[in-house]
Structure 1
Amino acid sequence: MSPLEVWTAAQLMGDGSSNVTSDPMLWGVPGHLTQAETDAFFRFKEEIEKRGGDFRSTVYSFGEEEGEAWALCRWLRARKFVVADVITMVEQAVETSSEPRAKGFYPNPVDALGCDARLFFANYPQLYHGVSNNGVVVFFSKPGILSVDGMECITTLEGILRFHWHIMMHDFSRRLRDLKAKDPNFKRFECFCVLDLNGLTMAQLTRKALAIVKEQAAIDSVCFPETMSKMLIINSPSFFATSWRLIKSWLDPRTASKIEVIAGKAQSEKRLLELIPKAELPSDYGGTAKDTNAIIMEDFGGDADRMETHIMYLRGHNSQTLEVGANESVTITVYTRSTSDRKTRTIQSIRG
């Protein structure tokens, strides 16, 4: 379908809403709307056309390639097709995104973070890679490896949020448009999230760590609604499983049905292979694609073959040894949050 194709009321209702009872995931999807939902669609469309400008571009944040019916229904689902609430939400999104929009949503990741993007991913591994069996982009996140101390050395919470805008508007959105260009039938501008909790401990759930996740989620919930197709939480520790049973009881059935929690590594890989083609799945998750570290280096590594990061806690002095091959050259960069006037001496000797 053309991104600008106009859907009629009959097309929006299509097979009707009767199938929603057996498949809640069809609720609010074009082709399965009720008469009331269809009426709400056209009222929202009229408001978008009337306001134009930032209001319109916020609704079409991933580009008009998403298509009118799919973009508008995504926003409408987020507020249960209550048009007044949807309009308020878009207004909030316009306000939230005003500064990032003025900056072009930070097209240069280094300018956003204040450091090389590879350092961000070394301290908080996250990446988009591959397409799931249901045709949506797959996102991997490893909060169990999140190093708050490392992040505080290289950037700030504001820098992390600027980088999040960069990723959403210049990385994720590009991947969506690329899929649409390859397959005109691609319609679900959504994401399959794989949340890997391997290594997560209670001690890591600090106020600072949770602030990073909370602020990113706040942006997504207001500015990029209904973009989670599915979430698979894998390698979950026992303490999380207990909490999840309580959290799940708070969710509506449709949202809860999108989320699965799996504890063991073998069970996690088995389920991932059921949902994602083996060739699309990174090798560290049981697939045949490159491992996640190699993919990050490929996407953001420039001309570097490898990268090592080390956090040093100085109480007077400390040192770190780095082995460099005979045909290798190395660049060493030091980030510190120290406020003292102590000098850092780097590289006493290099032997290849």
Structure 2
Amino acid sequence: GQSSFSTGHRHAKDDTMTFTSCVCCTNIDAVEHGGAEDGKDSTGEVAVEQESASKTAESATKKSVGNNRETVYYSAVSSFSPLILRSGVSLDDPASVLRQSSTIEAPKVGESLQPPEDDRSPQLTPPNSSQRPQKTRKSGNNFLSSVGFRRKLEETPKVVDTPQGYPGHLTPAQLDACLEFRRRLKDGDQVYRDMVGCFSDVEEEAYAICRYMRARKFDVDRTFQMMEEKVELWKSGAAHSFFPVAADAIGGAPESALLTQFPLIVGGTARNGCPVVYLNVRQLRIEGIECVASLDDIPNYMWHLAIHKLKHHVAAVVAKDPSRFVRTQLMVAVDLLGLPMGTLSSAMGALQNALQILSVFPEFLFNVVIFNAPRFFASFWPVIKAFLEPETAAKFELYASGDKGKARLLELIDESELASDFGGNAPSSEMEIAKEGEDGRKVSRRVVELLKVHKRHEGVCNIHLAENETVSITVYTKAHDGANIKLFEEGKSEPYSSSSMTRSNEKAAGCAFFKRIASSKRGPQKYRLEVNRHSAPPAEHFLVIADICES
């Protein structure tokens, strides 16, 4: 059977294949949930495994009548039809999903699937002696500020990928568990079939079922228990069809406006087929997010990203190269350079809720590479870990050094696929944000300015256009009483346009709203936009976004 793994190395003499840990393919859950506990082969001797595989194949044949196999077709949310990915694997064809013992060297008894110590990621640089806290009784008792905890934070090993637990590499016992899980799905509540099949248009049944089963080490009862714990949360998203339109998830504002302040970008594909998500916190501003949407809307946006945006990315990659295999697992890269402690504190609630949404999708996070981690992150990491499952927390790789973090990403992602601000040659995450304007059309550049306007004062944004450029300007805010907006052309004392920006009756107090100030203004020209307010509170924020296109 075909497989998404490319870590096999053939030996010239005996033509056998040995799977090794590959630095560009990493998945901690494949190690922990691959059916081989403590590094031991769960089936024992090869002869026993081959005999069991034969019995499984015979059993599967008896269950099928002609071509009518026990296949579950899911009715979950789907924007692509029919299935666009076909790797040739099926739970009804044991030869395509079972591990081939005659060609794959199984781990030796007692041999760990973890990489050797010298193959793990280097520890982050611990603080030097001059930076260490004084050994007073107070600091010595403070676990979060101790040097020992910082070192522990920095000892996160590389996540290691092995093929165990994936189609093409199952043991007979794992295949039997998958078939039993599928049978119970077919006979059970529709909502469970919808949960497993939520990516059914871009993920084959065998991969979907294995993804769920790996999360609970191929224990069918525990897998259903996991789903039961998440079913109400799933229904809350299903009630809104998981927000197929991003604007509906964030209160009506364009998604492109949110991304200027919450730059969570899906772009590129890792070597092992995982879509890559970038978050550069230099561009993350809580006050700016609240000008566009409420922080309480972020979980809604995560539904949109997980169910709809991921599938669009997979479809686009496969349309470009039909031979390419793309996983429904995310590889996340996070650059924390310049992260203020206040921003992280303010975002903790939204972060917790967003991770709660992602927990509905087992094995959805492949790994998370965080680099340029500031020292105070050590105080927040245990809080973040507290609402993560241990298996999920083990997927986080933390680096204090930006260079080490980017080097790690280059192990995982080809240079041509990795964003330039994360160490690669692909367009930067900022360029990805700037490519799409508020009305969905492509723009050549954007001017984005977050203004803090005090009472009886004005905020100013300057916009310069070349001869062949046009601009459309929109202002976003949650200011209680809005503001007066004036647009001036260079050298003129009277405004080109003047308007009052007030909240509509449809928007509740405290909700963000926006107004288009100008459309298709042509250059060459220099514009000056002024935001004036005269009522309480003392200060409010206004986000100005100017989309500039070449005419």
TM-score by length of 1: 0.85
| Contact 1:117/1:300, CA 8 A, preserved across alignment | no
Question: Structure 1 residue 247: deviation in Å?
Answer: 8.5
Q: What letter matches 1:332 in structure 2?
A: I
- Which residue does the alignment assign to 1:188? 327
Deviation at 1:112, TM superposition (A): 2.1
Cα deviation, 1:253-275, whole Å, max 9, x if unaligned, reads 97676432222333333332232
TM-score if structure 2 supplies the norm length? 0.56
Q: Mark the CA change 1:252 to 1:18 in structure 2 (over 3 Å): closer, same or farther.
A: farther
Distance in 2 separating the partners of 1:4 and 1:288: 34
Where do residues 27-176 of structure 1 align in structure 2 (5 Å cutoff)?
27-51=164-188, 53-113=190-250, 114-143=252-281, 145-176=283-314
Residues 1-352 of structure 1 correspond to what in structure 2 (within 5 A)?
1=86, 5-9=90-94, 11-15=96-100, 18-19=106-107, 21-22=112-113, 25-26=161-162, 27-51=164-188, 53-113=190-250, 114-143=252-281, 145-180=283-318, 182-183=321-322, 186=325, 188-206=327-345, 208-222=346-360, 224-240=361-377, 258-299=395-436, 302-305=441-444, 306-327=446-467, 328-339=469-480, 341=481, 344-351=483-490, 352=525
The count of corresponding residues between Structure 1 and Structure 2 is 348
Give the direction of change, closer, same or farther, for the CA distance of 1:331–1:63 in structure 2 (3 Å limit). Answer: same
- SS at 1:332's partner residue? strand
Which secondary structure state, in structure 2, belongs to the residue aligned with residue 57 of structure 1? Answer: helix
Measured in 2, the distance between the counterparts of 1:252 and 1:336 equals 37
Question: What is the distance in 2 between the residues matched to 1:248 and 1:110?
Answer: 30
1:150–1:311 contact (8 Å) kept in structure 2: no
Between Structure 1 and Structure 2, the one with more helix by share is 1
Once the two structures are superposed, residues 178-234 of structure 1 have per-residue CA deviations (whole angstroms, 9 ceiling, x without a partner) of: 44563456263212110111111322222x411111111101112x21022222111
Native 8 Å contact 1:284 1:291 kept in 2: yes
CA shift for structure 1 position 46: 0.7
SS of the counterpart of 1:98?
A: helix
Change (3 A) 1:96 1:242: closer
The alpha-carbon distance between structure 1 residues 259 and 30, as it changes in their structure 2 partners (threshold 3 A), is: same
Secondary structure in structure 2 of the residue aligned to 1:238: coil
Between 1:118-127 and 1:47-56, the stretch displaced more is 47-56
Moved more, 139-148 or 247-256: 247-256
Moved over 6 A (4+): 245-254
CA contact (8 A) 1:139 1:191 kept: yes
Residue identity in the other structure for 1:309: E
Could you tell me whether the CA contact under 8 Å between 1:128 and 1:140 is conserved in 2?
yes
Q: Which runs of 5+ in 1 are unaligned?
A: none
Rounded Cα–Cα distance in structure 2 between residues aligned with 1:314 and 1:41:
61
Q: Describe the superposition over 1:147-188 as per-residue Cα deviations: whole angstroms up to 9, x where unpaired.
A: 222222221234322222222222112222444563456263
Q: Does the 8 Å contact 1:74/1:225 carry over to 2?
A: yes
Task: Answer whether contact 2:212 2:362 (CA < 8 A) is retained.
Answer: yes
Per the alignment, do residues 13 and 251 of structure 1 end up closer, same or farther by CA in structure 2, a change over 3 Å counting?
A: farther
Percent identical: 31
Q: 1:53 to 1:185 in 2, by over 3 A?
A: farther
- Shift of residue 338, structure 1, vs aligned partner: 2.7
Paired letter, 1:317:
H
The structural deviation recorded for 1:45 is: 0.6
CA distance in 2, matches of 1:231, 1:139: 9
Mapped contact 2:97–2:167 kept (Cα < 8 A): yes
Look at both structures and tell me which one has the larger radius of gyration over its CA atoms: 2
- Aligned letter for 2:460? Q
- Quick check: 1:7–1:69 contact (8 Å CA) kept in 2? no
